[in-house]
């Protein structure tokens, strides 16, 4: 089949699959497909079916990663692999494209290469990571970490909201934890990885371009804050005798928002906040919230985190509450592979005449995979930069262009290697 016709056919299938996976959710009213949910299992079955149909050798591991190997190389199954993919889990009330588009593009690239009977020196591999968002266990990049041999054993003790730990889940799923941990990493230093992902920001749309390349991924940190006061009766305790943690936490939220408003490059968000006991006639006893803080480079992030910590401590010191700040996550910025980025940029130029180079404010599995093998990312325009939201949208034409650019990049990488 001619290459362009193969791309058209694969893009059409991809659009149907996006629709099906958008409905594959824990909830009727919104998209929610988190690790170890029934809808994630259903989605994994669809992915395995589509991978099998291309003739790939398909794997489904104990963590529920799905990946398929297409033996496109004449050098056998151990030849260097070009991995293409992303994650198939979602946040709560998610959009249909975050992660999922990159997964379906990986399968579509294999379909196109197979249907156009293009000879390659590499094997092709389609990846669908089980957990990037970390909703269940707060384990960001869990799926890719495992396939890269970077699984952190301390994650085994992390509980989900029902108190069941990741380790307990794995015992249910696998013969033994040891077998899970001793598995040979599927992603190896001799391989390379291409991840396509929606931009999740407004830059491409403003430039009127469908595609761009991420040259780096911003540094990010996540903290968990506890503000502890004293619960009491809402009707009897006068203001002077209260030790209400909520107004104090609210001052902190405003300080965090002020930081976010102060500079275009910084991102500071309180996404999660919980009040305890959370009853209308009880003065709160405790407030917990998260801080998500990002900046293009790690040194700049560190400076802003330090300044914010000083400000939050000052707010706490001016009140009667007890205050705890715990850093739960830190990731330096990731500089992606210049060679892979250049191949993607050349592919973009080929399909749309120009390649925009962008810093990604969002974290991606590529941060993890980049530690093991050369990695880079294709950015796809999404409407109004909207993401982690049900209105997230990528046009069918843009999905097709992304597929074309990825196929082009694979051919370039295969020849250049």
What per-residue string of b and e applies to 208-222 under the rule 16 or more CB within 10 Å gives b? ebbbbbbbbbbbbbb
Q: How far is the CB of 299 from its own copies (least distance, A)?
A: 18
Considering only residues 181 to 200 of the shown chain, the ones binding its own copies according to CB under 8 A are: 199-200
CA dihedral 264, 265, 266, 267 (to 10 degrees): 80
**66-70/123-129 β-pairing:** antiparallel
Q: How far is the CB of 144 from its own copies (least distance, A)?
A: 16
Alpha-carbon distance of 336 to 401, in angstroms, equals 22
Binding mask 376-395 for its own copies (x = CB under 8 A): ---------xxxxx------
Position 162 contacts its own copies (CB under 8 A): no
Considering only residues 82 to 101 of the shown chain, the ones binding its own copies according to CB under 8 A are: 91-93
Identify the CA nearest to 341 among candidates 363, 370, 368, 372. 370
Position 204 contacts its own copies (CB under 8 A): no
Q: Are 379 and 197 in contact (CB under 8 A)?
A: yes
Identify the CA nearest to 147 among candidates 176, 123, 125. 125
Q: How far is the CB of 386 from its own copies (least distance, A)?
A: 6
| Options 13, 242, 383, 412; binder of its own copies; rule CB under 8 A | 242
Alpha-carbon distance of 391 to 384, in angstroms, equals 9
Q: In this chain, which stretch among 103-111, 168-176, 284-292, 366-374 interacts with its own copies, using CB under 8 A?
A: 284-292
Q: In this chain, which stretch among 37-45, 102-110, 167-175, 273-281 interacts with its own copies, using CB under 8 A?
A: 273-281
Position 273 contacts its own copies (CB under 8 A): yes
Position 277 contacts its own copies (CB under 8 A): yes
Considering only residues 135 to 154 of the shown chain, the ones binding its own copies according to CB under 8 A are: 135, 138
Beta bridge partners of 380: 198, 211
Please say which residue, 118 or 275, places its beta carbon nearer to its own copies.
275
The SS3 of residue 146 is helix
| Options 110, 187, 270, 407; binder of its own copies; rule CB under 8 A | 270
């Amino acid at each position: 089949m001619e290459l362009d016709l193969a791309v058209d056919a694969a893009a059409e299938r991809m659009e149907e699959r996006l629709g099906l996976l958008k409905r594959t959710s824990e909830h009727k009213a919104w998209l929610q497909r988190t690790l170890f949910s029934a809808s994630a299992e259903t989605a994994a079955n669809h992915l395995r079916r589509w991978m099998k149909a291309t003739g790939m050798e398909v794997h489904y591991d104990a963590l529920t990663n799905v990946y398929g190997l297409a033996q496109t190389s004449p050098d056998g199954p151990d030849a260097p692999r070009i991995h293409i993919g992303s994650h198939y889990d979602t946040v709560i009330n998610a959009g249909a494209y975050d992660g999922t588009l990159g997964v379906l593009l990986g399968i579509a690239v294999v379909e196109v290469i197979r249907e156009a009977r293009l000879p390659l020196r590499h094997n092709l591999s389609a990846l669908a990571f089980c957990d990037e968002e970390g909703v269940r266990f707060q384990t960001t990049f869990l799926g890719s970490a495992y396939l890269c041999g970077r699984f952190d054993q301390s994650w085994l003790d992390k509980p989900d909201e029902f108190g069941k730990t990741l380790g307990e889940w794995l015992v249910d799923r696998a013969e033994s934890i040891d077998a899970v941990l001793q598995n040979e990493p599927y992603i190896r230093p001799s391989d390379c990885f291409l991840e396509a992902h929606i931009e999740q920001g407004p830059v491409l749309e403003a430039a009127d371009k469908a595609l761009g390349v991420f040259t780096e991924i911003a540094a990010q940190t996540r903290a968990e804050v506890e503000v502890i006061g004293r619960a009491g009766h809402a009707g009897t305790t006068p203001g002077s005798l209260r030790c209400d943690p909520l107004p104090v936490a609210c001052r902190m939220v405003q300080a965090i928002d002020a930081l976010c408003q102060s500079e275009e490059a910084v991102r500071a968000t309180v996404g999660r906040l919980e009040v305890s006991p959370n009853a209308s006639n009880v003065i709160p006893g405790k407030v917990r919230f998260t801080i998500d803080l990002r900046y293009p480079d790690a040194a700049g992030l560190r400076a802003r985190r330090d300044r914010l910590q000083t400000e939050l401590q000052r707010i706490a010191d001016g009140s009667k509450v007890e205050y705890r700040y715990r850093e739960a996550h830190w990731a330096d910025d990731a500089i992606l592979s210049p060679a892979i980025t250049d191949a993607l940029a050349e592919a973009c130029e080929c399909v749309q005449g120009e390649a925009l180079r962008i810093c990604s404010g969002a974290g991606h599995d590529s941060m993890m995979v980049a530690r093991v093998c050369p990695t880079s990312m294709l950015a796809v325009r999404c409407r109004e930069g909207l993401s982690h939201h049900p209105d997230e949208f990528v046009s069918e034409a843009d999905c097709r262009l992304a597929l074309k650019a990825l196929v082009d990049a694979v051919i370039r990488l295969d020849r250049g290697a």
